[in-house]
Structure 1
Amino acid sequence: MPQDDRDRWTRSYPWSLSYRWGHSALTADFDLSGDTPRLVRVRHPGDPEPAVPEEGKAEVTLPLLDVVLLGDGVGYSGPRFTGTALGRRMTYRAHRSTYGDGWHRLTFELRDAASGLTAFVEYASPDGVAVLRSRVRLRNDGAGTVTARSVGSLLVGGLPGADELLVFRARNDWGAECRWYAEPLRDSVPDINREAHGHTGHAAARLAGRGSWPTDGHLAMGGLVHRTDARSWLWQIESASSWSWEAGEAEGHTYLALGGPNHDEHQWREVLAPGGEFTGEWAALALGTCFDGALAELTAYRRLVRRPHPDHERLPIVFNDYMNTLMGDPTTEKLLPLIDAAAEVGAEYFCVDAGWYDDEPEGEGAGGGWWDSVGAWLPSARRFPGGGIGVVLDRIRERGMVPGLWLEPEVVGVRSPLARELPDEAFLRHADGSRVTEQGRHQLDLTHPAARAHLDRTVDRIIGEWGVGYLKLDYNITTSAPGHLDHSRAWLAWLSSVLDRHPGLVVENCASGGMRMDGASLAVAQVQSTSDQQDPLRCPPIAASAPTAVPPEQGAVWAYPQPSYTDAEIAFTLGSALLGRVHLSGRLDGMTERQRGLVREALAAYKEIRGDLGAAVAFWPLGLPGWEDDWVALGVRGADVEAGPVYVSVWRRGGDVAERVLAVPRVAGLGERGVRVEVVHPQVTGGTAEWDGVGVRVRMPEAPMVVVLRVTVV
């Protein structure tokens, strides 16, 4: 039986100084020569073997894990990840390697005699995928209570020195999501002359996300790219709550530390009574020969860890009545003609967005008066007279579409009767016992059975009684109150239970657009909102960069053609969505038949493309886009670099340059031979594209303009 197929604990002996674990795409080397194991490096098996360190000098002196206890400190005047007192005290007890269901797994068991704390450092990697997943479990086997104030997920050293690396981060703001930028790691980690001081400096590149909008400000991701050979390390922290990471220097090498919430950044702590346990958040590290390659590995991994669902293969077109359309003011009168128009152009789902529950007097709704009264989630009699919301839902079904509704389940308005009916314990509360209240709303705590029962009744009524098959789950407040980590885990567990009961349901994860675009949420929801951007000219850099955070078949991109748009503007907004998930909106009911024909043609093109998106990985022929770039391009290709078509969306938003040449994988190096370039959208366009023997030459004489291309080898 292969070594990784065994399922038993093994012990290290003094003469067993190293341990190599992994598979064809990734190996991890561990140093077991001391009392405390160390993760020396993570690499591709084909990479050159590293140089042997000088005799008596350890390659990496970082401990295997980073845990800080209250009253224990970090043990060093520097970053908490490189000098934890507890991490260096944890002694090796055993390790176990297993293989099953396509995953290689490795667990180290460590023990601290002083505190009685036992730690299990868990690694996992899918066979053939260059991604290492890691987390830490703690168990208090001592006689006294211990309090953790930091539990890291992954600590790895042995990366190239800071001089050799660029550090990548992605700003993620409301309406301006997924804006990647890079700088030399040395800018954050100055060289202070380690030999003169006897140790490395305290500086590091650090980033943290806080509270219930974990991707507000930055994505819960990062990357390192070698400045010479482009080798890349790309990571995500899988938390729907707070997180932090840092990259710094130790022993002349770069280290990387990833983790969930901690006391210093987030005022988090976990009290463990004797016998108590706590499990940290998962983090994942992908390796690649370039940024795009590392992302391809991470994309494959994301598909493996998410909940299986037929939506990931079908990719139905969703019409949503909100963006630049009804804007939270739905009524039967407004919806019926919109439903007919959406069906006529080819939409397959129709989601009624915010406002359907609003029974405030005329003029106080549409996102105003109902804001602090939500919670019961019952349809408005005023908005849906003469048969109620059932008339609207029936019309959607009659027109061959699946009905959907918007819901913001985690909040209860301060004026809602539910705010009085539910006990205080059903809400997140501050240390003094008062309820968390933000913008006139209380935050439910899904760890409490009363909160879960309320939401179970709500969704079972909407899905089971009303026949709704799509839920857009929004979240428009943010808090970092104590207990939010437990709530976020309970929220995702509750959502999984809903999908267990209603397996055909499709769930969209939204938080004011992309403010909760994290790996933990993506593993449960089928569709991810990427933005609330209402300006079609500002959508391309978001749409082009979204695949860094979410696989193409999950990333919802708005397309909102309007009767007032020119043909080129209609094509432009539709083109932004065709390499992701089309979230159609716009006043289709006010369009001419010719204009609706343009929409119909674009959606027909999408239906040809979408079968290839579920296994596609992204690349950027013009580089990751800048927010103000005149030209933006996104490409997707099959995971097998030698098979299938390549699709490229190219936008020109302005500027004087009317022509660009794109480098496209799979066709580079073919010279004049056998490359076909087709414009699949729009059908009538002033843009042209051709293979010139070096790259794909795109000409767009006007701006704004878009072309979506299919590139094949013939």
Structure 2
Amino acid sequence: MMPTFEWGNEALTLSFEWTDGETASVAALRANGVDVRFGHRLPLTEILATGTGHWLANDRLAHTDIGRALRYVSHAATHDAHGDHLDVTLADTALGLTATVHYDLPAGTPMFRTSVTVANVGDPATPDAPALGGDGAIVLESVTSWVSAFGAPAGKAADCDAWTLLEGEHEWLGEGRWHATPTRDLFPRLNQQMTGHNPRSEHAVVNTGTWSTGKHTPLALLDSRELGLTWLFQIEHNAAWRWEVARDTEDGYIALSGPTNVDHAWAKRLAPGESFTTVPASVTVAADSDAATAAVTAYRRAMRIEKADNARPRVIFNDYMNTINGDPTTEKLLPLVKGAAEVGAEIFCIDAGWYDDTGDWWPSVGEWMPSRKRFPNGITEVIDAIRDAGMIAGLWLEPEVIGVKSPMAVKLPESAFFHRHGRRVVEQERYLLDLRDPAARKHLDDTVDRLVNDYGVGYFKFDYNVSPDAGTDTDADGAGDGLLGHNRAYGAWVEGLHARHPELIIENCSSGGMRMDFAQTSRFQVQSTSDQQDFRLYPTIAAAAPMLMTPEQAGNWAYPNANDDPEAFAFNLNTTFLGRFFLSGYVNRMSDAQRAMITQAVDAYKREVQPVIGGSVPFWPLGLPQWDDDVVALGLRVPAGGADAAASGDATASTGAAACGDATVDVDAPARKAFVTVWARDGKGGDVTLKLPEFAGAEAGSAAGTAGAAVTVEPLFPVPSAELPAWPERWNAADNTLTVTLPAGVYAARTFAVTAQ
């Protein structure tokens, strides 16, 4: 009988099998009410090392000689307050290598994390093996964190052509452009079985440098309506990564990896006794994309750094976007501070330029001493005004760089900077700090501690506007190895800030949304989604943002302008409404009516959204938006327990994922409430039908909330008026949809509260 064991909990279970003649593999995965079986078996990890290769010539992550040679040694399961953990140890005894595959499953959350530790244990059976140098070293060139076939439900046959790949494209100012491609269009039918070999090509998505979402997303979905399955997978790394999907003769497969030699100039030399651990990846499988998205949302909440601001995200005002634009002064800021406080902001962040005396803030970053020219009485005059107004004071920092004109460019030792071939790496008038270096970390620790302790700063916006290409080759086995070490050191540095300053709130911004991976979002309470300055283009970015973060993290800019007409003004404010309320604009120059509209929006957000968003689950009633769609929509499902459940973490999501932390999965729990924002973008108007299947079987009530009605639909923002008329809507109980009539030829938006009685 084939050796086998199961591991997991009530939310997710993995089944493992192996034989003496074959490598161990995952035989089944059960989660979210689905049971996936893998007839086509792949190793638990694939490893490429110099002197080894593929057993079938190709440039894939899969089909490696070492992967096929690995044999089961042992496994050990543990349980603690964070969830369940499993280590499966494999060995290539001929090479003297072990690979321990780590699995982490948060309590009650149907998604798991996996990584691999490769160790050179020495004493190979063949000491003259090509993979070993004269000193017995093994040089790794790629190691997968996860690899598996697509699989199929129990009782059904695998079919590589039955799937659609959903992946995201990014660009500065153009984040969140998702598109779907059938696998039959990715992988041609080749009749390769006649040759006795698998195909050799793959659909590989690769990120280089440190803008981890600068072009592509490290998260994707594979969806099959024919099989009733959806995979969602992500690589949790803030720099170089690669994922691929491809066809084998028997099925398709998924492979997830951090940096590789072929893509990122990465290699890692392991002398006997040394080891290397991959960057993490995480995986879930569900019946459909809604349930998979709910699972990853719950996973993000379970695996992030816990901070008080996560549950009830404070309203932020930032002076930059379409406002001061990096030229702050006391004279400009004090009126904005007063105006922001009056409309209900809870955090006020002074953005770029506050440290600069030259008038050219870009190349002068790095010393982080307040400008005396911009603040003649000291920056504390403004910070005190912020705090006296009842708000938390914030500052912009770009910690990972030093401007070429900054005093720190000569004060810090050479070891503090990225180098390649003996020269400092420079990009757009910035040097890059290497946070593996103690002097670099001390400079940043001293900076943050000084600003927190001496100035009372409670919020930082961490920006990152350049990328170092391959990385640094100082004290590394290559530029890619140095880059990986730096990025891991950066994550540890951020964790240290949270440990020293428990109340500190930190925003992750990288030229807007160029670094929205989970390695980043798990360590920050706020995530900037874009630098897009055109309010007409932002809804697509805002609506897609919860694919990569929790809704309460999504900092979508609202920057209303005094010259806007009422509809454009409200459109702007709705863009931030179902995320972290993120406000800019010259509130001090606006009319009383305009300030009243901002106050109305902030009040409605604080009253309705803020208490429950930390337990909500995103959904897309029109599907994920396309960049040029005339109509865009985003929804949030509120947990059945409402505000109290969201705040306590005890609620469950309606589509099969826990709302927070240790909550248990409840696939059948009905949603009691949902918020939906609809943006009309200069289209033809008319009726649009929004899908809300969670309200199945409910009858329609009046928009005013007739007593006893099964479903009521109420405008949440803006409140209807002569200038902002209500949009006609009706609930359709027969197909669980909400039909809304939109105006034509105008940029307008509305947020609705849909409630099941």
What TM-score, normalized to structure 2? 0.88
1:27 to 1, 10, 13: 13
> How many residues are treated as equivalent by the alignment?
684
Aligned to 2:748: 705
Is 1:653 aligned to 2:666, yes or no? no
Cα separation, 2, equivalents of 1:688 and 1:535: 28
Q: Deviations over 1:237-287 (max 9, x none)?
A: 000111111111224112111110100111111111221121101101122
Match of 1:429 in 2: 419
Task: State the alpha-carbon separation in 1 of the partners of residues 186 and 30 from structure 2.
Answer: 24
Runs (4+) of structure 1 moved beyond 6 Å? none
Mapped partners of 2:261, 2:373: distance in 1: 49
- Name the CA distance, whole Å, in 1 between partners of 2:552 and 2:51: 47
The alpha-carbon deviation at position 391 of structure 1 amounts to 0.6
2:34·2:229 contact (CA, 8 Å) conserved in 1? no
- Secondary structure of the 1:454 match is helix
AA of the residue aligned to 2:621: P
1:156 deviation in Å? 1.1
In the TM superposition, residue 599 of structure 1 has moved relative to its aligned partner by 0.5
What amino acid is the match of 2:366? G
2:115 to 129, 135, 138: 135
State the match for 2:612 in structure 1. Answer: 612
Aligned with 1:261: secondary structure? coil
| C-alpha contact (below 8 Å) 2:294/2:653 kept by paired residues | no
- The Cα offsets for residues 432-478 of structure 1, whole Å up to 9 and x where unpaired, read as 12111111111000011000010011111111111000000000001
* Correspondence for 1:561: 560
Is 1:92 equivalent to 2:83 in the alignment? Answer: no
1:42 match: secondary structure = strand
Residue identity matched to 1:382: K
> Contact between 1:230 and 1:291, CA under 8 Å: does it hold in 2?
no
1:23 positional shift: 2.5
CA contact 2:326–2:361 (8 Å) conserved in 1:
no
Residue matched to 2:530:
531
1:404-443 pair list within 5 angstroms: 404-430=394-420, 432-443=421-432
Q: Is the 8 A contact 1:75 1:84 kept in 2?
A: yes
1:690 is matched with which residue? 730
Cα distance change, pair 442–185 in 1 and its aligned pair in 2 (3 A) = same
Asked if 1 retains the 8 angstrom alpha-carbon contact of 2:34 and 2:286, the reply is no
Task: Give the alignment of 1:368-379 within 5 angstroms.
Answer: 369-379=360-370
* Structure 1 Cα separation of the partners of residues 146 and 530 of structure 2: 30
Which residue does the alignment assign to 1:150?
Answer: 142
Deviations 1:382-423 (A, max 9, x none): 1111x1111110111111111100000110112222111211
Written as runs of structure 1 = structure 2, the 5 A alignment for 1:508-657 is 508-608=507-607, 609-637=609-637, 638=639, 639-641=652-654, 642-657=670-685
User: What is the distance in 1 between the residues matched to 2:543 and 2:519?
Assistant: 22
Q: Tell me, yes or no, if structure 1 residue 382 matches structure 2 residue 373.
A: yes
Does structure 1 residue 242 correspond to structure 2 residue 259?
no
> Which AA in structure 1 matches 2:380?
G
Q: What's 1:451 paired with?
A: 440
Superposition deviation, residue 124 in structure 1: 1.9
Q: Are 1:41 and 1:158, in contact at CA under 8 Å, matched by a contact in 2?
A: no
Shift in Å, 1:659: 1.7
Following superposition of structure 1 onto structure 2, how do residues 22-421 of structure 1 map, counting pairs within 5 Å?
22-35=8-21, 36-44=23-31, 46-47=33-34, 50=37, 59-142=39-122, 144-159=136-151, 160-360=158-358, 365=359, 369-385=360-376, 387-421=377-411
Does the CA-based 8 Å contact 2:230-2:289 persist in structure 1? yes
Distance change >3 Å, CA 61–CA 234, structure 1 → 2: closer
Amino acid in the other structure paired with 2:77: S
Return closer, same or farther for 1:699/1:46 CA change in 2, 3 Å cut-off: closer
Tell me the CA shift for residue 46 of structure 1.
4.7
- Contact map agreement 2:2 2:17 (CA 8 A) in 1: no
RMSD, matched Cα: 1.6
**Which deviates more, 561-570 or 25-34?**
25-34
Secondary structure at the aligned position of 2:537 is classed as helix
Q: Kindly tell me: are residues 604 and 701 of structure 1, through their superposed partners in 2, closer, same or farther at Cα, counting changes over 3 Å?
A: same
Farther-moved stretch of structure 1 (662-671 vs 579-588): 662-671
Q: Secondary structure at the match of 1:133?
A: strand
* 1:464 partner letter: N
Question: Compared with structure 1, are the counterparts of its residues 44 and 402 closer, same or farther at alpha carbon in structure 2 (3 Å cutoff)?
Answer: closer
**SS, match of residue 176 in structure 1:** coil
Uncovered stretches (5+) of structure 2, i.e. residues with no partner: 124-135, 152-157, 472-478, 640-651, 655-669, 701-708
Please report how far the alpha carbon of residue 709 of structure 1 lies from its aligned counterpart in structure 2 after TM superposition.
0.6
For residues 2-59 of structure 1, give each alpha carbon's deviation from its aligned partner in whole angstroms, at most 9, with x where no partner exists. Answer: xxxxxxxxxxxxx4433232233322222212342112342338546859xxxxxxx3
CA contact (8 A) 2:730 2:740 kept: yes
Per-residue CA deviations over 1:490-547 (Å, capped at 9, x if unaligned) read: 0110111111111111000010011010011111111111111111111111111100
* 2:453 matches 1:464: yes
Q: Which stretch has the larger CA shift, 130-139 or 582-591?
A: 130-139
* Maintained 8 Å contact 2:711/2:756: yes
Gaps of 5+ in 1: 1-14, 52-58
Instruction: Give the Cα–Cα distance (whole angstroms) in 2 for the partners of residues 91 and 210 of structure 1.
Output: 33
Aligned residues of 2:33 and 2:287 also touching (Cα < 8 A): no
Look up the equivalent residue of 1:623 and give its one-letter code: G
What are the superposed Cα offsets for residues 68-116 of structure 1, whole Å, 9 maximum, x if unpaired? 1112122321243321111111222111122222522221111222332
Match for residue 711 of structure 2 among 675, 694, 698: 675
Letter in 1 for 2:399: P
- 1:503 corresponds in structure 2 to 502
C-alpha separation between the residues in 1 aligned to 2:118 and 2:37? 33
1:3 corresponding residue in structure 2: none
CA contact (8 A) 1:412 1:443 kept: yes
Q: Counterparts of 1:173 and 1:493 in 2: how far apart (Å)?
A: 28
For 2:418 and 2:675, how far apart are their aligned partners in 1?
46
Pick closer, same or farther for the CA change 1:114–1:434 going to 2, 3 Å. farther
Q: Deviations over 1:270-329 (max 9, x none)?
A: 111221121101101122211111010011001111000001012100000000000001
